[in-house]
Amino acid sequence: MVKRTPLEETVLSRIRPTGEEREHIYGVARQLLDAISASGQVQGMVVGSIARNTWVSGEHDIDIFLLFSPTLSREMLEKQGMTLARQIAAQFTDRFFEKYAEHPYIYASIDGVGVDLVPCYAVETAIKIQSAVDRTPFHTRYITDKINGLIDDVLLLKQFAKAGGIYGSDQMTEGFSGYLCELLVLHYGGFIPLLEAAAVWRPGTVIDIEHHAEKTFKEPLIVVDPVDPRRNVAAAVSLDRMVEFIELARGYLDDPKETFFAVPPHQAITRRALAKLLNERRTHLFAITFATPPYIPEIVVPQLKRSTLAVSELLERNGFSVHHASFDMQPERSMLLFELLIAELPAIRQHIGPPLWNRVNAGKFFEKYATTQPLAPYIENGQYEVEVMREYAHAKTLLESPHLVNTSLGRHVKQAIGQGWTVDEGVTCWREEFAAFIADFFDRCSPLARIRRI
């Protein structure tokens, strides 16, 4: 048996599901599996952390996969699968509806438990999968076979990652999925051995439990899927989330404290506090707000990320230095937020022409600007230069210009912005719905710093 510290035991006693919770969850799952069997169409399979016994108390989501024959067409799978899923859900509740990840599924709320009913193909090996969901049953079988004796370690790691803000492989978090947490604990043989290893990770770290990688991966952290040699389970983990995990690991090993397992409370900033902050910082805040494109976060969030980068580049190209930029997607509206060092620039700017050696182009440059500009071309470092009027002397007018729509925003964000956008400056950027986002925008300290501060 692993020796736990009293702190870890205390944390475990808090996050381990109680017997009552287990019974309730397993009861709901059993009823659903029975109903699926009773349909006579397919077998059902519980997957995810419930199946693997690795859920943190309070994480009440049951994933049940409906295993259809791979001989079925994709279209028929969706049709038959969703019909069955609806039938099953309807036996237990009125509160269910269709959701969509890579493929459609039914989400139902049954006896206080969230349930996903996901149609998939029952393939022979994970290599024969037709879509990502088909792989999940293999993950569950792999982990269930090996995780015995390490379940507490997985719970500690999940809670540690949640508290550190790096849990979740969604586009917004870019962090560690539950399955990745399980594999890491499995590979290193426990929570503490994992932290000790992570403390000296570098970008390009490769973990290949089954020694079967069939390609080279480029992501900062590489954990080859034991059931699929061509897949990196850690593909979603960004460099910064990886680094933050390293930081947390070092911090915990140096000074293990309960705060490393304490999920930080949600914060929000008031309009008044934002005004005070901007006054102290003397930076220039600009918000671009527009209707959230009517698509799922998996589609919209990467576009918002790309848009934030593209608009930052537009600002920089026009001389407005970006101190920090980020974005938020709320149900109604989305926001790109920019904190600039400068909001206003002179009326003129330098425009560099060709070197004089290039006689034809130098001549053209001279002819073009000698008559049109207030100051004629001059020579500097062997090249023509000229002062021209700056197109946008204020960041706000730039962001309100058509240039905004013409940056590479991503298709749906471009459509949404094309319908109209608002540019706010300073404290008027504040909106109730973005108050939490704006708070995080300014309080973006590292996980270790936040934990030390708690």
Q: Which residues bind its own copies (CB under 8 A)?
A: 199-200, 202-203, 220, 239-240, 242-244, 246-247, 250, 280-284, 319, 321, 323, 341-342, 344-348, 350, 356-357, 359, 362-363, 366, 370, 375-382, 384, 393, 442-446, 448-450, 452-453
- 296 or 445: CB nearest its own copies: 445
Rounded to whole angstroms, the Cα distance separating 254 from 112 reads: 40
Residue 42 or 249 with smaller CB distance to its own copies: 249
- Closer to its own copies by CB, 54 or 318: give it: 318
Nearer to its own copies, 277 or 291 (CB): 277
| CA 86 to the chain's CA centroid | 30
112 CB neighbour count, 10 Å cutoff: 9
Alpha carbon 167 to its chain's center: 10
- Extract the tokens encoding 7: 């702190």
For its own copies, give the closer residue by CB, 17 or 251: 251
Q: What is the largest CA-CA distance in the chain?
A: 86
Lateral strand order in the sheet of 333-340: 322-329, 333-340, 284-291, 422-425
CA separation (Å) from 150 to 23, 222, 233? 21, 22, 19
Residue with tokens 């593909």: 235
- In the complex with its own copies, the residue whose CB is nearer, 358 or 422, is 358
- Report the distance separating Cα 121 and Cα 81, nearest Å: 10
Report, in angstroms and rounded to the nearest whole number, the Rg of the chain calculated over CA atoms: 27
The CA-based angle 332-333-339, given to 5 degrees, is 155
CB of 259 to its own copies, least distance (A): 14
Q: Residue 188: which of 179, 180, 197, 177 has the closest Cα?
A: 197
Q: Which is nearer to its own copies, 250 or 431 (CB)?
A: 250
Are 115 and 61 spatial neighbours (Cβ–Cβ below 8 Å)?
Answer: yes
What's the closest the beta carbon of residue 367 comes to its own copies, in angstroms? Answer: 10
Task: State the nearest-atom distance from the C-beta of 99 to its own copies, in Å.
Answer: 33
In whole angstroms, how close is the CB of 255 to its own copies at the nearest point? 12
Nearer to its own copies, 122 or 199 (CB): 199
Nearer to its own copies, 111 or 367 (CB): 367
Residue 353 · residue 380 · CB < 8 Å:
no
Three-state DSSP state, 398: helix
Closest among 192, 267, 238, 240 to 447, alpha carbons compared: 240
8 A C-beta contact, residue 226 and residue 210? yes
Minimal distance in Å, beta carbon 275 to its own copies?
A: 15
